Structure 1
Amino acid sequence: MDYRSDTFTKPGKGMLNAMIEANTGDDVFGEDPTVNKLEAMMSELFGMEAALYCPSGTMSNQIAIKVHTLPGDEVICSTLAHVYIYEGGGIAFNAGAQVRALEGDRGMITAADVEAAINPDDIHKARTSLVCLENTSNRGGGCCYEWEQIEQIREVCNRHGLKLHLDGARLFNALLATGQTAAQFGATFDSISVCLNKGMGCPMGSILLGSAAFIKEARRVRKKLGGGMRQAGYMAATGVYALENNVERLAEDHQHAKKIAGALLEREFTGHMLPVETNILIFEVKHPWTPITFRDFMQQQDIRVMAISPTQVRMVLHLDITPEMVDRTIAVIRSME
């Protein structure tokens, strides 16, 4: 049982069959029919003009940031944003931009935060050009933005001429949890990245969405980053399968997360737990346990979890975790003193 991340999923028989039966071509020439189908499905779902299939969510985000900015620009995001702390310094390396990181709440920032962080039109200051949001927020325990918050940030961006990008690695989790729609997001953001290799269960892949002009430039940047793929339809077929079969079932992961959270909160060694809104649990571990000893004990029970700080453990639910596995995990938690 591996709760370290929802990236540990493996393709099931249906997804593997989709890969085997995929119709492929050369995507660098724009001739892979399965890649084209996946990109069309996503752009239609979000109501955006075009889409680009990329190997990873990090690449999707980095392409978007590169297209939206010029070297020396400043990008506003949360201090907990994946684009800031988990993409290898890519904003500096790929775009030559710097970051204005804001504290926010569980990785979520407000319109007031953004407006206060925008630099004046002064040659001594970096030009603020882009705001990046993350929904759900990974280090925020899978929390979701309220739609009103997003609308307010969009309005600030409009007034100041800023682009707005969404790292939607787990956006489908947010849509199910909040009842918001893909079309709402597509109408609000200049660009969106959506991972297929997390709760959607694909072995790889991310979709970058935007206007036709944006995606045309994004395709050029993808090539520069070495992301041009040939017979990528074998992998894109997993994305088509996931869109058709794995979206609604994400709600089961949310239910499992809440069930395990309830068991943990019964134990005295569980400290503060971030609100569980989707498929991620982040909680403090107290005496006599530490995150390391908790992790090691669980591993002895063939349960893998991640110690993410000196005080916190993370567990992530996904499609390879069955109800029976959840029940066994809860039994192990209840056996711990």
Structure 2
Amino acid sequence: MYMPLPAQPGLPPVRIDLYSDTHTRPTAAMRTAMLAAEVGDEQYGDDPTVNALCDRMAALLGKEAAVFLPSGTMCNQIAVLTHTRPGDEVLCHETAHLVTSEGGGASALSGVNLLGLRGAEGQFDADAVTEALRPRTRNAPPQSLLSVEQTTNIAGGAVWPVAALDAVAATAHGAGLATHMDGARLFNAVVASNQPVGAHVRGYDTVWVDFTKGLGAPLGAVLAGTSTFIGAAWRWKQRLGGAMRQAGMCAAACLYALDHNIARLAEDHANAARLAAGLARVPGLAVQPPATNLVFFEITDGRFPIEELALRARRAGLLVSLLGRNRARACTHLDITAADVDDAVSILTDAMKAG
């Protein structure tokens, strides 16, 4: 889980923001596209730019329909609400965003139990799914949904292999469960694996993609599935807050991202590898080799808490995030250059030396 830095007045401005790819700023060209967007009332299907985005994403993901939502968390919650009934059980990894980072929304809103499965790098296999299946008796909670996360955030941005995704989806479907993919950084997985997006999502009844992370848009995610599912999801969207009205300005940013910001994710991955290589040379730091754009590191010699290292870095203008005990994360994105990475390595090296 994310942990805030201790409050401290008088800190300088952030020069290098590695906290999250959600901190990206829309580029000048993206802002121009937003200003030029055609808009209408999304509630009544009259916003042509939102419609274009949803149609494009449904086709790209191989689904019948899609709905534009403000955030990925809202996509997850609406998916669970639509797939399940109160008292049901959802299978997911024990470190999944659904479990750790959505405020207990699945239990508070859907009234479901999340059964956390174990496995390395935020992944589990078909055998783990089989072992988790309960008998269909009146004593057991009905298991109705299996969810995976691509890429796996807390596990270090690891990429599920396509064969593994297919295997767990087939096992879940064989047991009568629906399947859902939290695709917050799905395109990072696509670029890193060199496998088309359709291969990643073909076994999943529903999937969503976040545009506010590596794709650099200021707002928005798209949830896709069957036409019937999206119709039901719209009712939950209405219940949870309604339409976004003239949302075409935001949808235009997402369309721009699809055209310009997918292939360049490889640059973020290269910068993450560069950062990890630099930090691995710092005495007292252990670094998890990144699979995509997330670099996790920890202090191994106990010289001071990881919070102290993050605070020292923040005083030098570098912002990283803290995830759990003695673990920090640096996230590369489109606002970070190779020079920024080298500067970050220098700052953290000096911070580790400080008395």
TM-score, structure 2 length as denominator? 0.92
Alpha-carbon displacement from aligned partner over 1:163-216 (angstroms, at most 9, x marks no partner): 010000000000000112111234211000110001110111111011111111
Among 140, 160, 179, the residue aligned to 1:164? 179
Distance change (3 Å), C-alpha of 1:52 and 1:70: same
User: Map of 1:177-256 to 2, 5 A cutoff?
Assistant: 177-256=192-271
Large movers: runs of 4+ above 2 Å:
286-290, 330-337
Corresponding position of 1:302:
317
Question: How far 1:294 sits from its partner (Å)?
Answer: 1.0
Contact 2:181 2:201 in 1 (8 A): no
User: Residues 249, 231 of structure 1: CA spacing in aligned structure 2 closer, same or farther, 3 A cutoff?
Assistant: same
In the alignment, which of 134, 137, 153 is matched to residue 122 of structure 1?
Answer: 137
Deviation at 1:44, TM superposition (A): 1.4
1:42-57 correspondence runs (5 A)? 42-57=57-72
Report the alpha carbon displacement of residue 333 of structure 1 after superposing the two structures with TM: 3.4
Is the 8 Å Cα contact of residues 257 and 276 (structure 1) preserved in structure 2? yes
Q: In 2, distance between residues paired with 1:56 and 1:227?
A: 14
Structure 2 equivalent of residue 274 of structure 1: 288
State the match for 2:7 in structure 1: none
Amino acid at match of 2:268: D
How high is the sequence identity, in percent, across the aligned residues? 38
Determine the C-alpha separation between the residues in 2 that align with 1:179 and 1:211.
26
Greater shift after overlay, 107-116 or 170-179?
107-116
Q: Distance in 1 between matches of 2:62 and 2:208?
A: 14
CA distance in structure 1 between the aligned counterparts of 2:111 and 2:228, rounded to whole angstroms: 22
- Of the three residues 251, 275, 293, the one matched with 1:260 is 275
Q: Report the CA distance between 1:105 and its aligned residue.
A: 1.3
- In the other structure, the counterpart of 2:147 is 132
Deviation at 1:227, TM superposition (A): 4.1
Cα distance, 1:289–1:252 mapped onto 2, change above 3 Å: farther
RMSD: 1.2
Distance 1:285 1:306 in 2: 14
Aligned to 1:39: 54
Structure 2: unaligned runs, 5 residues or longer: 1-15
* Structure 2 partner of 1:112: 127
The residue correspondences of 1:135-154 to structure 2 (distance < 5 A) are 135-154=150-169
Contact 1:54-1:227 at 8 Å conserved across structures: no
Question: Contact 2:68/2:222 (CA < 8 Å) preserved in 1?
Answer: yes
Task: Give the C-alpha shift of residue 41 in structure 1.
Answer: 1.2
Q: Does structure 2 retain, via aligned residues, the 8 Å contact 1:78–1:133?
A: yes
> Is the CA contact 1:11–1:201 (under 8 Å) kept in the aligned structure 2?
yes
